[in-house]
A = this chain, B = another copy of it.
Amino acid sequence: MVLAQVETPALVLDLDVFERNLAVMETELAGTGVRLRAHAKAHKCVEIAKRQIAAGAVGVCCQKVSEAVAMVEGGIGNVLVSNEIVSSKKLASLCGLARQAEIAVCCDNSDVVPLLSQAALGAGVELSVLVEIDVGGGRCGVAPGDAAAVLAEQIDGAGGLKFAGLQAYFGSAQHRRTFEEREQASSKTVEGVRLTKEAFRKVGLDRDWVTGGGTGSYPFERDSGLFTEVQAGSYAFLDADYARILDGGGKPTATFGHSLFLLSTVISANGTDRAVLDAGHKAHSNDSGPAQVFGMSGLEIAGQADEHMVVAIDADGPRLRVGDQIHLIPGHVDPTFNLHDWLVCVRNDVVEDVWPISARGPGY
């Protein structure tokens, strides 16, 4: 089947670009001693995770227990839930996975330690727990330094738990436009890690494992001398938002290429200045800005509703007709993947495979 025969809206992966992105990341980390822990929350697809591991990733991370379940059931052997899990039922499910795979989870609150311990003991496993610190993102995480060490001691002393290391992730910093902004945020991250490792050392609990960083900041964590892995996910796909981040010279960072597209079709074309596509909020998440038209000039997404996108056509732009297929670069990879059940994998516009996005959903 060729791409022109695919019903839309469809999420499409260009395998050549995808594979190149994986190889580029492998090269980026080669010889540094820092490993990739690919963020499966970006794609929620076991087949992608397998290819990331084949390209050097130590395993994956997930944000939800449900994502971890899908990954382990799909054969992924090493999963970090890079988030706080605070429900006994969810923790029981997570500890069940620890019988067949290497599983770890984050913690930022002493109230949760007894729940973690109870779940691990109930499942008869030793659960690896990382302390998460807040390095400026203002989201999850305990304060760097002594507070983190107190929590580490509590985890270390609890039955069924193994205090395993440190997570420091500055989410919003990934998307800051300039190199300097990202560098500054990452300096704060690294300083928080240094402080916390010092506090861990004082209580005899320093561990090697330090994890964090993403597609926007990984070069800083890689070169910090403190991180042992980076959690990039979007690198494999490159959305419109990440394509706007700039390198040290003020130019778009061209390390990775666009491999992920939302294929859409013109369903209404009653003017020369606009057309309407069959993809809206239910097929594309515009939380980080609109999608971008790929491979055609003079076209810009002017609006998005539940099932429609309106394309504004420049005076010099092409005349669109009903039935025309349009390739869109998603504004944000993660929540766009989450809207789709299937990923159509193509090479030179021929469909090579269809992969289930089995961990999609609100998650638990």
Residues of B within 8 A of A203 (CB): none
Given known pairs A141-B270, A270-B142, the reply for A286 and B283 (CB within 8 Å) is no
Residues of B within 8 A of A150 (CB): none
Asked if B281 contacts A322 (CB within 8 A), the reply is: no
Whether A259 sits at the interface, judged by CB under 8 Å, is no
Whether A47 sits at the interface, judged by CB under 8 Å, is no
Residues of B within 8 A of A182 (CB): none
Q: How many angstroms from the CA of A101 to the CA of B286 in the assembled complex? A: 35
Question: How far does the Cβ of A58 sit from chain B's closest Cβ, in whole Å?
Answer: 22
Given known pairs A7-B89, A109-B269, A335-B282, the reply for A140 and B287 (CB within 8 Å) is no
Given known pairs A41-B306, A86-B323, A139-B310, the reply for A283 and B362 (CB within 8 Å) is yes
Among the listed B139, B307, B310, which residue makes an inter-chain contact with A308, where contact means beta carbons less than 8 Å apart?
B139
Residues of B within 8 A of A323 (CB): 86-87, 111
Given known pairs A305-B171, A306-B63, the reply for A143 and B270 (CB within 8 Å) is yes
Q: How many angstroms from the CA of A171 to the CA of B276 in the assembled complex? A: 14
With CB as the reference atom, state the residue of chain B lying closest to A62.
Answer: B307
Asked if A108 contacts B306 (CB within 8 A), the reply is: no
Whether A162 sits at the interface, judged by CB under 8 Å, is no
Whether A338 sits at the interface, judged by CB under 8 Å, is yes
Asked if A111 contacts B322 (CB within 8 A), the reply is: yes
Question: How far does the Cβ of A82 sit from chain B's closest Cβ, in whole Å?
Answer: 10
With CB as the reference atom, state the residue of chain B lying closest to A84.
Answer: B267
Question: How far does the Cβ of A237 sit from chain B's closest Cβ, in whole Å?
Answer: 14
Asked if A282 contacts B363 (CB within 8 A), the reply is: yes
Question: How far does the Cβ of A94 sit from chain B's closest Cβ, in whole Å?
Answer: 13
Q: How many angstroms from the CA of A134 to the CA of B143 in the assembled complex? A: 55
Asked if A362 contacts B279 (CB within 8 A), the reply is: yes
Q: How many angstroms from the CA of A305 to the CA of B175 in the assembled complex? A: 12
Asked if A140 contacts B339 (CB within 8 A), the reply is: no
Asked if B334 contacts A141 (CB within 8 A), the reply is: no
Asked if A282 contacts B362 (CB within 8 A), the reply is: yes
Q: How many angstroms from the CA of A254 to the CA of B89 in the assembled complex? A: 39
With CB as the reference atom, state the residue of chain B lying closest to A321.
Answer: B111
Whether A9 sits at the interface, judged by CB under 8 Å, is yes
Residues of B within 8 A of A363 (CB): 9, 282-283, 307
Whether A90 sits at the interface, judged by CB under 8 Å, is yes
With CB as the reference atom, state the residue of chain B lying closest to A283.
Answer: B362
Whether A211 sits at the interface, judged by CB under 8 Å, is no
- Provide the A147-170 mask, 1 if CB < 8 A to any CB of B, else 0: 000000000000000000000000
Q: How many angstroms from the CA of A358 to the CA of B97 in the assembled complex? A: 29
Asked if A270 contacts B306 (CB within 8 A), the reply is: no
Chain A residues with CB under 8 Å of chain B are: 7-11, 41, 63-64, 83-87, 89-90, 108-109, 111-112, 134, 138-143, 171-172, 265-270, 274, 276, 279, 281-283, 285-287, 304-308, 310, 321-323, 332, 334-335, 338-341, 361-364
A109-B269, A139-B268 given; name 9 further pairs at CB < 8 Å. A7-B87, A7-B364, A10-B362, A63-B307, A64-B307, A85-B267, A86-B265, A339-B361, A340-B362
Give me 6 A-to-B residue pairs in the complex whose CB atoms sit less than 8 angstroms apart, sorted by A's number.
Answer: A63-B307, A111-B321, A282-B361, A282-B362, A283-B362, A340-B361
